[in-house]
Amino acid sequence: MNILHLDSAITGDASVSRKLTAEAVAKLTAAHPDARITYRDLNMGVPAIDTEWFHAVRMTPENPSPKQLELIATSDAYLKEVQDADVLVIGLPVYNFNLPAQLKNWLDQIARAGISFRYTAEGPEGLLKGKRAIIAYAAAGTPMGSEMDHASKYLRHMLGFLGITDVTFIPADGLALDRDAAMTRAQQALEELAA
Beta bridge partners of 91: 136
Spell out a b/e string for 166-184, using b for 16 or more CB atoms within 10 Å of the CB, else e. Answer: ebebbbbbbbeeeeeebbe
In terms of phi and psi (left: phi > 0; alpha: psi -120 to 50; beta: otherwise), the region of 19 is alpha
DSSP 59: S
Helices (H) and strands (E) in the chain, counts: 6, 7
- Give yes or no for a contact between 188 and 172, defined as CB atoms under 8 angstroms apart: no
CA distance 159 to 122: 19
Q: Determine if residue 15 is labeled as part of a ligand binding site.
A: yes
CA neighbor of 88 nearest in space, from 2, 156, 154: 2
CA distance 54 to 65: 13
Instruction: Let me know if 113 is exposed, middle or buried by CB neighbors in 10 A (0-12, 13-18, 19+).
Output: exposed
Q: Determine if residue 17 is labeled as part of a ligand binding site.
A: yes
Q: Which residues are annotated as a binding site for FMN?
A: 15-17
Q: Which residues are annotated as a binding site?
A: 15-17
